[in-house]
Structure formats: C-alpha cells, structure tokens
Structure 1
C-alpha cells in the first residue's frame, strides 16, 4: 500500500485512531506504544523485500567491552523487520550493557551482503531535532526570542504576526504543509508531490527554501496560529530561513559549526542539492503504480532540497547516537531550554523538535524520540532515555515486496522498542 492509497482511502476508516505526520496520515501504535507510529513518511511509503539473515555485532566498530556480546532479543527484533517484508535494517543500541550493532536483510536487491552497520542513510524528519537544537542555541544566546513573532525576523515573507518561533518548533503555527494537507474528513489539499509516480519522476528536482515557504503561504492556513497542532514541514523550512537570517551564515555552515564539528559527527551531512549517499550505504527502493502497473525503482539517489531544514540530512546510527545522547545529557542546550524542548504539547505529544513518548512503568517510562524518512526508500529511528544513557538508532530500507504498512510497521517497531526498552518481556 503506497502513500496515495493510504491518504485517499485506508485511513478514512481509522480517523479516530490516527495522527498526521509529515503531511501523510499515520496510525497510532497499540498498547504502551501509542503516540509514536512512524514519523516522517516511513509508515506510508516503506515497502520491502523479505530476505533471511541477521548480522551479528560488528566488533570493528564497538568498544572492546561490547564486542561479541550475545543479545538474541535484539537480533530477533532486527530480523522481525525483514520477516515482515522490509529489505534491511541496521541498528545500534547503547545501554548499561555497552553497545550493540547489527543488521538484517540485504544491502542491495539481488545481492547477499547485509546492510553495513556503519552505513549512511537519509534520516528524514530526524533533521527537525537538529534544526530545533540550533534555533534553541540561538535563543540561549539572545539572538532569537522563543515567543517573538517570526515575521519580525523575516519581514518580507508576509507571515501572520501571531506566529511565534515556539509555534514553528512545536507545529502550532497552522501553516499549510507544502507537501500536502490531509484532513480528518478525507479531504486532501495537494502540495509538492512527495509520493507516487509524480514524485519518482521529479525526485531530482531542486527546490529553494523560499520557494517551499511561498508555496505554503499561498494556501489557506489549516487553523489560526496557536489554536491547534498539525505536523507541517513548512515550520522547519521557515526555521532554516530564520537561522540563516539571524546568523548571516548558511544553514549547513551553522549546523557544522554548532553541532556536527563539536560532536565529531563526521558521517552527518547537510546535503543541499547533493543526491548521492557518501560512503557505505544500503539501497532503498520505492514501489508505486504507473498506468495500473506496479513498478519498483531504486531511490537511493534523491534530491531532498524538497525538505530543506525539515527532512534532508544524511547520517549514521553512530552519529545519531552521539547526537541524541549529547542532547539529552545537557551538552548542547542549557537546562531551562532543554526542559522546554522536552515538554510535550497538544495531541501529538510534541515538544520543540521532539516527540515525548510514555512507554509505561515496565519499560522505563518516558523516552524522547524523532523518527523519519524521505519520500521513499528509507526510514530512520532515534530514541533516548531522559538522561541519554539508553539509546536506539536505526535505519530501515524498503525493497520490492508489497507490505501493508498500517499493520506491519507498527508491529515490527513495537517488537523493537520492547526488546530495547522493556527487556524483551512484552509479547
């Protein structure tokens, strides 16, 4: 089932039990995992090929204390994604037992090699957490007011002066999502194509951030600023423009200067119009309909200027682990602003660039997370305990099999979270 089918039909039957993320409808998770589903575009757009095999922990990339440790519950959870039809998954877990990395499935369809455990991948909306962190650093420096009107910094855009910086970061601005809006009554207001044949045919097109924002501003707002909450990529592309205006430097330069270089995140890139994943990587595929026929295309190369500041970054499981651990550990933001970032708001349980999720008392209680995916081929996971001592980072790749996303992804994700945060005790 592809994104178009979900948007047009399947989720109409589940309006009471869904959320809307990245402009595409998402199911809520069952039981203790409600409120997460899969963010970005992963739930609607990932489709994979089932292939056997799990790679054991790669001792070359692990500390000596962690190399070779037997974690069968983690191996089974990784394999579960492949068994449900995804092409592959690489995962890294850091907890009190040390660090474990593993992978399952294949790096590329038609080959036997498993996904590299140090591979690069498109992280999608995990980019939003990076963007929010830079904005909050500028708030800490007094260069941006969290509750100041965005129009005061970007006067030429004609923004509603009621929209504040805080509203951008927690998706309460009401601004139209430039990749399309999907309403509870089944109404769809299209934006820039981010699914189906139209996206496939235009996946190398370059977009400028101003172009994306102006498209969004040409559409009616979803609601009055501050009166509701709806996930919108427009908010974070505006945050990119805000960063550039206040600092006088490009978003990529500021990200490098403030986060990537200080943390040594050598595998993380703000690609701009770059279409190629650098270094080792698994391939991602997209299944779509063309003239009534199902087709599969390798979408490893794509131009994610479509999601500037909102979902365009490249990273690794190691870099995401380092980043989220540092963020939760208070190394990137002063305590008062980290507390603001982690304060859940509204029906999405979204803080400032983070989802706040309650796993229940048997699973360690609250975790902070942001997942993501570009329009096709990849999904990324990033979870952390409040102090950053327990983390899960992963990349899922899709293949050529038809997968019922609404059913299969939540089940596989729940198994994964259970294995990491619940000690593997849940069924």
Structure 2
C-alpha cells in the first residue's frame, strides 16, 4: 500500500525542491479566485500532505514549513474569514422564522450556536467547507489526487472520502500537536458532508467553465435600429363609466354599480361584508345584471363599456370554480334522484361579545404570549374606545417587562 500512496516525507520534500525552478518562485501566479501568490500556497500544501504518512513533525520539517509559510501572501497568513451563517430571518419555511421552542429571538446571536456545539455536543463541531481557506482547499485538492477512488484495506472497503478525510485529520493533528505550527496555520475541522459538498461544487464549476469556453459571448446593441413608439400613458379614469355609473361617492343600488372599477375605491363596511360563501351562479348573475344595467343606461359605446366592466370583474380561481361546478353537479344529481341535497354551513368564528366574525375587518385581533404561553383576544366593540394598535402595544410592552 505504501507504493500506491506515494513517496515518503523526506523524498517528497526533496523532489518538490528539485522540481520547482527558482524562476517559478519569482513569478506571480494567480489562484482560482484571481489572487496572486498561489504557487506558495500549493508548495505549502504539498509539504503538509507529506505529514499524512508519519503523523509527526520533525525539526527539519518544521523549518521547511515555516519557510514556506513566510512566503505566503499577507491574506493567506491572516486569520481565516469564515462565511456568515447566522440569519435573523429564514429564506424558507411557512413562517420564515425559527421554531420558538429551540430558538427565541432574544437568545440567538451570531456565533452562539457554534459555541454551544463546540462545548456541549459530542462529535458535531462546527465544520466548514474547504474553500473557506486557500491553504485548506489546496490540501484537499492534493489529497483528492492521492486518493482517486475507493480502496480495500485488510478486506474492508473504504470510500474515497473517508480516506481523504482520514489523511486530512492526520495532517491537522500533526499541526495542532506542534507548539510552533499551531500558532501559524489554521486548519479547521472538516467532515464528509462539507467535503463532498465542496467537491461537487468545484467539479460543477470547472465543468461549467469548459462548456462556456465553446459558447461565443453574446453582444447585443444597446440602441434599437429603429426608434420605438413613445410610452403610452395610462388613463386615470374612464369618463364614460363615470357618466353612466356616477361619481365614487354617489348612491346607487348594489347590483347596478360594479364593485371594482378603475379609479374608484370601494371598501365594504362591516354591515356589507358577506357572512356566507357565494354560490356557484352568483358571480355570473352579478356580471349579467351589471351588463344589462349599463346597456339600458346608454346606447352609445355599449361594446366598449361592457368590455371594460367584464375586464374589471375579479377572476375566479381555478380551484374555486371547480368546487362550484362540482357542487352544482351534486345538487343536480340529487334533484334528479329526488333526494334532499344538504351542504355544510361555512365555518365562521363568532365573537361572544359583539356577535361578529373574529376578523380584522370587524375590529378583532389576537396576541400570542410566548412567556405566558397564552393567546389573548381583542374585541374593539367591548374595549371602551381602545384601538387595536393601542392594545397590541400594551401587550408587547407587558411581554417585554416580564
């Protein structure tokens, strides 16, 4: 197995010195991220990889590693800038917030979870991806070349990533056990998940560069060959509709005036809010009645007015339309068989104080206290003139004082 893994530490160090010409050390080599001095990073990584065979650092090896470390750019000798993982708001999930049982907004801050995992958990330290450091990434690249595939050791099959991770752990332990090198080199912890994630990301990126090399750059002119038409201004209101249906504040019957017209705001009050679900034929009937009213009001521009009214009617969702058609079919089937068709009444939560639905539209609200673990409800009709905003502010203040 030694012949497969490569030369020993002294032989590899000597071969690195012989194969590296003096002119190459003076040239500026750019890394994958475009930063100079990448040749010194690779030389140090190759020197550290030789530690995987011995597991300790000799005095000559210490001098060699410190000499290569002094040649690194200032950026690579500085502290590692770990990627930020703490977020106040999540980007996925139903409520875009962490669960209150494990993470409260008052006890979560940047670095707290990583510190807890370091001291309180077993075998689950905060591992990073190799690309957080150019030196660690170069070490992983060399180890991936040393271990190109799975191997069988003493009859046991070991995966490629367990071999790479085992070699890296040996190198990291050798550096951390040395009193001088552990103050210079920052070799953070890796695990198999972060290692495979980095390898797949790097492989996809390199493959994308190869494919993009054969695609010519698209160059489009910023100026059109022919002058474009001027921007059409959107009309603020329709004079024909205003003349027929009246001003926004006029009093007309509910079925003669459409509820959603351009330029007119219609906000139903508590007495006008629907208490039950609309039946399958109500939307079509309302549209037909409105169209007939507009047609009877004037004989000029009837087609334009009817098209404008039809366009402003809110579109029914597909699921709602399908449920209405299904309900209508069931009702017709029951009538054909001579049976009574019974439907469930729509659910509505009624307030016991004002006898109105418990919605924001009727002046209701609620506040969940995490410390008291209780849901408090508010009814504006029984609050004695207190608004919803005032009540919520009082509840939040009491929650903070507890």
Answer yes or no: same fold by TM over 0.5: no
Q: Which has the higher contact order (CA 8 A, sep 6+)?
A: 1
Is the radius of gyration larger for structure 1 or structure 2? 2
From the two aligned structures, give the one with the greater helix fraction.
2
From the two aligned structures, give the one with the greater strand fraction.
1
